[in-house]
Amino acid sequence: MKTAVLLPVYNPDEKFLRLVEELYKRGFKVVAVNDGSLERCDEFFKRAQPYADIIGYKENKGKGFALKRGFEYIGNNLAEEVDYIVTADSDGQHAIEDIERVAKLTRKTDGIVLGMRDLSEKIPIKSRIGNDMSKIVYTIVTGVYLRDNQSGLRGFPTRLCMWLQDIPGNKYEFELNVLATAHKEGMKVTGIDIKTIYENNNKNTHFRPIKDTIRIQRSLWAYGLISALLYTLYLLTISILVWFNIPFFYFWLIGIYIWNTAMHAVLNVFSAGIRHKQKISVIYYITCSIKYFISTLVMLLFYFMGWNMFLGGVLCLVIIMLLSYVFGRSGILGKV
């Protein structure tokens, strides 16, 4: 099983050449994507050709676009040669040893691996602003806490190349969208500790704290707003049924099932804008059935005890949200 290291590259220097050569010596297939670097950098790419497949384009389009172009190249040209892919930064932020460890864990788990830095250490202000805001928003919206959700050191099975290409975002937001989409689709993400490296106080970073942070969080807020809208519609439906005093108990059960399933379907499709969808696993249906069964028991209890059905609906909503959180955080939905 061979592993490819995918490097999005913008205006490289000698560190890029040292990284590519060392990865090649350690047996990795290296793919470097020139994300519209300046012409003065062409020499670095020429010198890297003996050690890496160099692809690219003339106009700078962003890290996410470069990564997706790399996934496309690997999926179309190297799928028979490469079983796993590790993405890494080309500016020296990721140690060779950590790249090897992520590659090893990706092969072992056959799933998504996230290299996580210790962000409690002293790090440059630009990076701290983005990382702190990202952690807060991601936790609020998804209910999952990740110590470092912006690390570019990650591992993927090659079979996910098409899935990765269809995730929205062409700049820094792409990497967060990958995690959010994996969470929504029940994919397990395995974390591994890596070194925190910021050379020269990260002065050469292309990350813009305010603009790029807003871009990164935008899709997450969209996901959260759609969730809130669906929950509001759920409660509104219950209110209408109570207002008109509809006596048919089974309407309540059907309503619970429809909303429980529809929320997952709508959130997965519309909030991420994904064109290509993986088949929903059997485990997904099992978790939906568990939430439906428990909600049904709650509504039965409220119905036969003569309690307020609206409050029963609210309680079911809370149960659905809590179970979704528990299933997502525990990784019970498993891997693709």
Q: 3-state class of 54 per DSSP?
A: strand
What DSSP line would sit under 109-176, residue for residue? HSSEEEEE--TTS---HHHHHHHHHHHHHHHHHHS---S-S----EEEEGGGHHHHHTS--SSTHHHH
Q: Tell me what pLDDT residue 303 has.
A: 75
Q: Long-range pairs for 211-216 at CB < 8 Å and ≥24 separation?
A: 212/130, 212/171, 212/172, 212/173, 213/129, 213/130, 213/133, 213/134, 215/171, 215/172, 215/173, 216/130, 216/134, 216/150, 216/172, 216/173, 216/176
Q: Tell me what pLDDT residue 272 has.
A: 42
Domain at 2-217, CATH from 3.40.1390.20, 3.40.309.10, 3.20.20.60, 3.90.550.10: 3.90.550.10
Q: Please name which of 151, 7, 4 lies closest in space to residue 67, comparing C-alpha atoms.
A: 7
* CA-CA-CA-CA torsion sign (156, 160, 163, 166): positive
At 65, which helix (H) or strand (E)?
helix 63-77
Q: Are strands 29-35 and 112-116 parallel, antiparallel or unpaired?
A: unpaired
Q: Residue 292's CB: how many other CB atoms inside 10 A? A: 19
At 190, which helix (H) or strand (E)?
strand 189-193
Q: Tell me what pLDDT residue 97 has.
A: 96
List the 112-116 sheet strands across, edge first.
53-57, 29-35, 2-9, 82-87, 154-157, 112-116, 189-193
* CA-CA-CA-CA torsion sign (199, 201, 203, 206): positive
pLDDT by residue, tens only, the chain of 336 residues = 799 999 999 999 999 999 999 999 999 999 999 999 999 999 999 999 999 999 999 999 999 999 999 999 999 999 999 999 999 999 888 999 999 999 999 999 999 999 998 766 666 665 666 666 666 666 666 666 677 888 899 999 999 999 999 998 888 788 988 988 888 787 888 999 999 876 654 555 555 555 555 555 666 666 666 666 666 666 666 666 666 666 555 555 556 556 555 555 555 544 444 444 444 455 656 766 777 677 778 877 887 788 877 787 778 777 776 776 566 555 444 433
| Residue 107, C-beta contacts closer than 8 angstroms, at least 6 positions apart | 1, 3, 83, 84
> Is pTM beyond 0.85 here?
no
Q: Tell me what pLDDT residue 87 has.
A: 98
Give start and end residues of each alpha helix (H) in 173-281: 173-184, 209-243, 249-270
Domain ranges of the chain: 2-217, 220-330
* CA-CA-CA-CA torsion sign (40, 43, 46, 50): negative
